[in-house]
Amino acid sequence: MESISELRDICHNTKAYKSYNRLSRLYFKVSIYFTSLFLRLGITANQVTVLSGIVAIISAFFLSASSIYLVLVGVLLLNFSTILDHSDGEVARYHKSITITGHFLDWYMHYVISSVTFIGLAFGALSINSNMYMILFSILAIVTPIMDYAIVSSGWTVICWTRIQELKLGRKNMKTFKWDFINGEKNATNAEPIKLSTGLMNKLNKHIYWWLRFITVGIFQHFWAPFLLLLLTLLQIIINLTGLSEFDFRPLLIMYSGIVGPFYIIYKVTLLVKSNALEDGYNRLFENTKKINIPDDFFFY
């Protein structure tokens, strides 16, 4: 069996790995040890993916507990689930067995993890404050991360479904479809979302914009939520130990998510519709594949 350093060369020496953010690379530093264990035990990548979902479901029960220390256990389990989510890809790359089924399970588990996380937090919040408004906020908070992830998956589905329709009707590509393309090829390669992002970056420093996005909506995204919840839980423990205040962050988080979440989703959908990002994604997926940068290029994320 290869050493940890040799496994890193096999599993991490890829173009995709180099494009991951710093938090994912931090998880990868830990996940490789579990990958080594899974390889020794003969556990497959798909089994690791399912295990990540099971661990997330277990974590949800702890997230709803009354004790902040049990909540901490739930948050640690949630982060462990994220580590497993990184490990399944390492196992697949080691065996060179990356499959469509594996991608489906991995994608689907993100829905499971996002939903059960907020279900656990919502039950915890409702155990403290169970009025009608908190119930409404809980529902909206649970739905928000699911809708956020659905924007990406639905976009991909629509793009691929459009391609299937064209092939069935004998069309070469979408340009033969009667879509409103200005100047044909020129508009097809026009990355309107990039223009919008560039305009925003001209007003705000790139780093400031990133931090604002991270702080305001990071909790809705499956790859940031475990880390942010860990920070919030540790912050609450520190505040409670100092005796300055005795509070629980979960009702506040659920209220924030229930209020901000719907506006965030509306903004993303509106931006997607107005920016022609779907057409641009189609073009780069089926006509100009050299412009695709996986895994970060979600076209309209």
Q: Count CA atoms within 13 Å of residue 277 on its CB side.
A: 23
CA angle 85, 121, 237 (to 5 degrees): 95
pLDDT for the residue numbered 288: 66
CATH number of 4-291: 1.20.120.1760
Q: Which residue has the tokens 């097809």?
A: 188
pLDDT for the residue numbered 3: 86
pLDDT for the residue numbered 165: 80
> Could you state, in order of their start, the residue ranges of all structural domains in the chain?
4-291
* pTM of structure: 0.82
Each residue's pLDDT tens digit, 242-267: 877 778 899 999 999 999 999 999 99
Q: How far apart are CA 68 and CA 90, in angstroms?
A: 33
Q: Tell me which residue of 80, 55, 74 sits closest to 121, measured CA to CA.
A: 74
| CA distances to 121, 172, 276 from 59, in Å | 10, 49, 39
* pLDDT < 70 positions in the chain: 13-19, 171-205, 288-301
pLDDT for the residue numbered 222: 84
Cβ burial, residue 89 (10 Å; 0-12/13-18/19+)? buried
